[in-house]
Amino acid sequence: MARKNAFYAQSGGVTSVINASACGVIETARKHRDQIGKVLAGRNGIIGALREELIDTGKESKSAIRGLMTTPSGAFGSCRHKLKSLEENRAEYERLIEVFRAHNIGYFFYNGGGDSADTCLKVSQLSESLGYPIQAIHVPKTIDNDLPLTDNCPGFGSVAKYVAISTREAAMDVASMCETSTKVFILEVMGRHAGWIAAAAGLAAEKKGDAPHIILFPEIAFNQRKFIAAVRRAVKEHGYCVIVASEGAQHRDGTFLSESGLKDAFGHSQLGGLAPQLAQMVKDETGYKYHWAVSDYLQRSARHIASQTDLDQAYALGEKAVEFALAGENSVMPCIVRGKGKRYSWSIGKASLKKVANVEKMMPRSYITSDGFGITQRARNYLAPLIVGEAYPRYRNGMPVYTTLKNQLVPKKLDKRFNI
């Protein structure tokens, strides 16, 4: 097999462990210099390939690459650029192949969610038909945990851990003050289409009555009457009520609660979050004193409290992606396979990209309690192992030491610029 270079890119919303997958790819490639030449990373994701802005990871020291294990965000930059279908924008795909050909790239490692799995598949197919076959391997990543075939997605376990811990800590705060102060606390978390992240907050509860008392899932249509009744019940029984709401919580007709139209003083519609809206509803209906928090990017970048299990899996998937490529695989995604035993174990399996692309894995109804406000034991069994272990970064002067790479570009070889 002639030695080829590899291309690696990060796609979509970043996570606190996506760089661990990058580390897995690069370290493993470096072990096989006879087969893989340079690992070139896309600057700002796939845009880097389209613009021929390719980062030479070979310029980074061994320790800098190791530093990726403890560095959140996307070290090479990521992007939200979704490649259209082949029919709609064949030019973009052809440009990718052109750039890959110019830089002798034979391996395409794409680290992202559902959309990027689809892109990966198309690159593989088109490269074949254009006579420059590229082995395309998808490395799964998404905090939303909504990819099919893999038991879970790297990035999710760490968000789950952050949300579960934050819910427990804030709930203790509210519990100790509720006699004379805040009685209702609302934490808004990510998850626009699937309630996995909100569900993870349920791990904060160890026994009946523990917070969170109410979880709002996108999968369950919001019912204001039931919601307010549940708030009143929690306050009556426990003295306070902790609510964790998925940003994707929606009405029966599928519209998001967060789109319910607040206006500013000038009548402009206001793009507030869900948490303040729910707080207002609670206040109007019950008069309870409330507080609310929106963790937003904090939850997906909280490398300081990443899950060791999540980190290990993120690395292993990057490593396996390279091993698959070296074994001649194409159009596949390494995935997490959960062991059958009672004690949690996992290994890496292989999924065909044809079965992955454009399929969203929702929370099973059996993971949500019948009242729609909590998680079942089945959900707990699924979620609990994913947050195990504390993968602490190193600290200096009280602050975590995160790595910044040099990110030096290789010289361009193509005359043509590509506008995107």
Q: Does 173 bind its own copies (CB under 8 A)?
A: yes
Residue from 91, 102, 229, 298 touching its own copies (CB under 8 A): that is: 298
Write the binding mask 388 to 407 for its own copies: x where contact by CB under 8 A, - elsewhere.
xxx-x--x-xxxx-x-----
Residue from 84, 129, 169, 347 touching its own copies (CB under 8 A): that is: 169
Nearer to its own copies, 294 or 325 (CB): 294
- Positions 62 through 91 that interact with its own copies (CB under 8 A): 71-81
Residue from 23, 41, 55, 204 touching its own copies (CB under 8 A): that is: 204
Residue from 85, 89, 176, 224 touching its own copies (CB under 8 A): that is: 176
Residue from 1, 208, 271, 416 touching its own copies (CB under 8 A): that is: 271
Q: Residue 389: which residues within 8 A CB-CB, separation 6 or more?
A: 307, 308, 309, 311, 312
Q: Does 287 bind its own copies (CB under 8 A)?
A: no
Q: Which two tokens stand for residue 122?
A: 């198309």
Which helix (H) or strand (E) segment holds residue 173: the answer is helix 156-177
Residue from 17, 97, 99, 187 touching its own copies (CB under 8 A): that is: 187
74-84: b or e for each residue (b if 16 or more CB lie within 10 Å)?
A: bbbbbbebebe
Nearer to its own copies, 26 or 203 (CB): 203
Minimum gap (Å) between residue 38 Cβ and its own copies: 22
Minimum gap (Å) between residue 395 Cβ and its own copies: 6
Minimum gap (Å) between residue 342 Cβ and its own copies: 14
Residues 144, 146, 151, 310: which is the catalytic one? 144
Q: Does 300 bind its own copies (CB under 8 A)?
A: yes
C-beta separation of 327 from 40 below 8 A = no
| 3-class DSSP state of 8 | strand
Nearer to its own copies, 39 or 75 (CB): 75
Q: Does 16 bind its own copies (CB under 8 A)?
A: yes
What is the distance between the alpha carbons of residues 404 and 195, in angstroms, rounded to a whole number?
Answer: 33
Residue from 25, 54, 174, 231 touching its own copies (CB under 8 A): that is: 174
What is the distance between the alpha carbons of residues 233 and 230, in angstroms, rounded to a whole number?
Answer: 5
What is the distance between the alpha carbons of residues 313 and 228, in angstroms, rounded to a whole number?
Answer: 40
Minimum gap (Å) between residue 289 Cβ and its own copies: 10
| 3-class DSSP state of 79 | coil
Nearest alpha carbon to residue 305 among 167, 141, 111, 419: 167
Residue from 34, 87, 88, 179 touching its own copies (CB under 8 A): that is: 179
Nearer to its own copies, 260 or 366 (CB): 260
Residue from 161, 183, 213, 320 touching its own copies (CB under 8 A): that is: 161
Phi/psi-derived region of residue 241, left when phi > 0, alpha when psi is between -120 and 50, beta in every other case: beta
C-beta separation of 349 from 337 below 8 A = yes
Nearer to its own copies, 108 or 240 (CB): 240
Site of tokens 């896309």:
42
Nearer to its own copies, 327 or 395 (CB): 395
DSSP one-letter string for 29-77: HHTTTTTEEEEEEETTTHHHHHTT-EEEGGGS-HHHHHHGGG--S-TT-
What sign results for the dihedral spanned by CA atoms 336, 342, 344, 346?
negative
**Has 144 been annotated as catalytic?**
yes
Minimum gap (Å) between residue 218 Cβ and its own copies: 19
Nearer to its own copies, 26 or 174 (CB): 174
Instruction: Say which DSSP state 300 is in.
Output: H
Minimum gap (Å) between residue 32 Cβ and its own copies: 27
What is the distance between the alpha carbons of residues 352 and 20, in angstroms, rounded to a whole number?
Answer: 23
Q: How far is CA 21 from CA 13, 139, 253, in A?
A: 14, 8, 39
Q: Does 142 bind its own copies (CB under 8 A)?
A: no
- Positions 304 through 363 that interact with its own copies (CB under 8 A): 304-305, 307, 309
The residues assigned a catalytic role are 144
